[in-house]
Chains A and B, each alone.
Chain A
Amino acid sequence: MDAESARLCTELPDYFSILPNRSGRQFVFESLSDKLQAVFSQLASHGKLSEADVNAALREVRLALLEADVNFKVVKDFVGRIKERAIGVEVMDSLTPAQQVVKIVNDELINLLGKPAPLNLSGQPPTVIMLVGLQGAGKTTMAGKLALRLRKQGQRPLLVAADVYRPAAIQQLEILGKQIDIPVYSEGTDVSPATIARNAIRVAKEKAHTVVILDTAGRLQIDDAMMQELEQVRLVARPADILLVVDAMTGQEAVHVAEGFHARVPTTGLIMTKIDGDARGGAALSIREVTGVPIKFLGTSEKLDGLEPFQPDRMASRILGMGDILTLIERAQENITEEDAAAMEERLASGQFDFEDFLDQLRQLKRLGSITDLLKMIPGMNQMAKDVDPQEATKNLKMVEAIISSMTVHERQNPHVLNGSRRRRIATGSGTTVNDVNQLVKQFKDMQKMMKQMGVMGGNRKKKRGRKGGRREGAGMFGGGNLMDMFGGR
Chain B
Amino acid sequence: MFRRLFGKQEEKTQDELLLEESLQKTRGGVLGRIGTIFQANEITDELWDELEETLIMADVGMETTAELVEKTRSRVERDGIKATADAYLILKREMVNLLKADEPLQIEQPRILTVVLVVGVNGSGKTTTIGKLAYRYKQRGKKVVLAAGDTFRAAAIEQLQVWGKRAGVDVIAQAPGSDPAAVLFDAMRASQESRKAEILIVDTAGRLQNKFNLMQELEKMRRVAARQVHAAPHETLLVLDASTGQNAILQAKGFQETAGVTGIVLTKLDGTAKGGAVLSIKKVLGVPVRFVGSGEKIGDLAEFDPVAFVEGLVGE
Q: Beyond A135-B123, A138-B122, A277-B209, is A72–B271 a contact (Cβ under 8 Å)? A: no
**What's the Cα separation between A253 and B62 when bound, in Å?**
16
Q: Does B59 contact A63, Cβ atoms closer than 8 Å?
A: no
In the complex, the number of residue pairs spanning A and B with C-beta atoms less than 8 Å apart equals 150
A102, B247: Cα distance in complex, Å: 25
Of B13-21, B68-76, B110-118, B151-159, the stretch lying at the interface with chain A is B151-159
Q: A278: which of B61, B209, B241, B245 is its contact (CB, 8 Å)?
A: B209
Within 8 A of A (CB), among B9-65: 25, 29-30, 53, 56-59, 61-62
Name the A residues within 8 Å of B158 (CB-CB). 167-168, 171
Cα distance A277–B207 in the bound complex, in angstroms: 9
Q: Would you give the shortest CB distance from A260 to chain B, in whole angstroms? A: 8
Q: Is residue B272 contacting chain A, with contact meaning CB distance below 8 A?
A: yes
Bin the interface of chain B by size: 35 or more
Known: A67-B246, A252-B57, A278-B208. A168 touches B241 (CB 8 A): no
Contact of A249 among B121, B156, B159 (CB under 8 A): B121
A274 to B210, CA, bound (A): 11
Q: How far is the CA of A166 from the CA of B246 in the complex (A)?
A: 27
- Say yes or no for B194: interface residue by CB 8 A criterion: no
Q: In the complex, what distance in Å separates the CA atom of A219 from the CA atom of B271?
A: 9
User: Min CB distance, B310 to chain A, in Å?
Assistant: 19
CB contact list, A239-265 vs B, under 8 A: 247-254, 256-257
| B159 close to A166 (CB less than 8 A) | yes
Q: Is B174 an interface residue (CB 8 A)?
A: no
Interface of B, helix, strand, loop or mixed by DSSP: loop
B159, chain A: closest CB distance, angstroms: 4
Is B125's CB under 8 angstroms from A72's CB?
no
A69 within 8 A of B: yes
A179 to B159, CA, bound (A): 19
The answer on a CB contact under 8 Å between A171 and B244 is no
Chain B residues positioned under 8 Å from A171 (CB to CB): 154-155, 158
CB distance from A170 to the nearest CB of B (A): 8
Chain B 111-144, CB within 8 Å of chain A: the 1/0 string?
0000000000111110100000000000000000
Residue in A72, A136, A256, A280 whose CB lies within 8 Å of B241: A136
Partner of B245, one of A69, A166, A390: A69
| Inter-chain contact A136/B122, CB cutoff 8 Å | yes
Q: Does A165 contact B (CB under 8 A)?
A: yes
CA distance A250 to B25 in the complex (A): 18
- Is A63 a contact of B62 with CB atoms below 8 Å? yes
Interchain CB contact under 8 A, B243 and A391: no
Q: Is B83 an interface residue (CB 8 A)?
A: no
Confirm or deny: A362 has a beta carbon within 8 angstroms of a beta carbon on chain B.
no
Can you name the residue of chain A whose Cβ is closest to the Cβ of B244? A249
Is B216 part of the contact surface with A, judged by Cβ < 8 Å?
Answer: yes
Chain A interface SS verdict (over half): loop
Total A residues in contact with B, Cβ cutoff 8 Å: 52
Does A175 touch B at the CB level, under 8 Å? yes
How many Å from the CB of B244 to the closest CB on chain A?
A: 5
Q: What residues of A have a CB within 8 angstroms of the CB of B105 in the complex? A: none
User: Residue A335 at the B interface, CB < 8 A?
Assistant: no
Q: Chain B residues near A176 (CB, 8 Å)? A: 154
Give the shortest distance, in Å, between A426 (CB) and chain B (any CB).
Answer: 27
Option from B213, B247, B268 in Cβ contact (under 8 Å) with A391: B213
Determine if A252 and B245 form an interchain contact, defined as CB atoms under 8 angstroms apart: yes
Q: Which residues of B contact A166 (CB under 8 A)?
A: 159, 296
A282 near B245 with CB under 8 A, answer yes
User: Assuming A136-B122, A175-B154, is B159 touching A168 (CB within 8 A)?
Assistant: yes
A250/B243 in contact, CB under 8 A: yes
Partner of B208, one of A135, A136, A277: A277
Does B2 interact with chain A (Cβ within 8 Å)?
Answer: no
Of chain B, the residue at the smallest CB distance from A69 is B245
Residue B226 CB within 8 A of the other chain = no
Identify 29 residue pairs between A and B in the complex whose beta-carbon atoms are under 8 Å apart, listed by A's number: A67-B62, A69-B59, A134-B268, A135-B123, A135-B268, A135-B296, A136-B122, A136-B241, A138-B122, A169-B155, A169-B159, A221-B272, A222-B271, A222-B272, A247-B241, A247-B244, A249-B241, A249-B247, A251-B244, A252-B56, A252-B59, A257-B271, A274-B208, A277-B208, A278-B250, A280-B246, A302-B122, A390-B213, A391-B216
A-B pairs with lowest CB-CB distance, top 10 = A251-B245, A136-B123, A69-B245, A167-B162, A172-B155, A175-B154, A168-B159, A171-B155, A277-B208, A279-B247
Please give 13 more A-B residue pairs, beta carbons under 8 A apart, in addition to A30-B250, A138-B123, A251-B244.
Answer: A67-B62, A166-B296, A173-B154, A249-B251, A251-B245, A253-B273, A257-B272, A277-B247, A278-B250, A280-B246, A302-B122, A302-B153, A391-B216
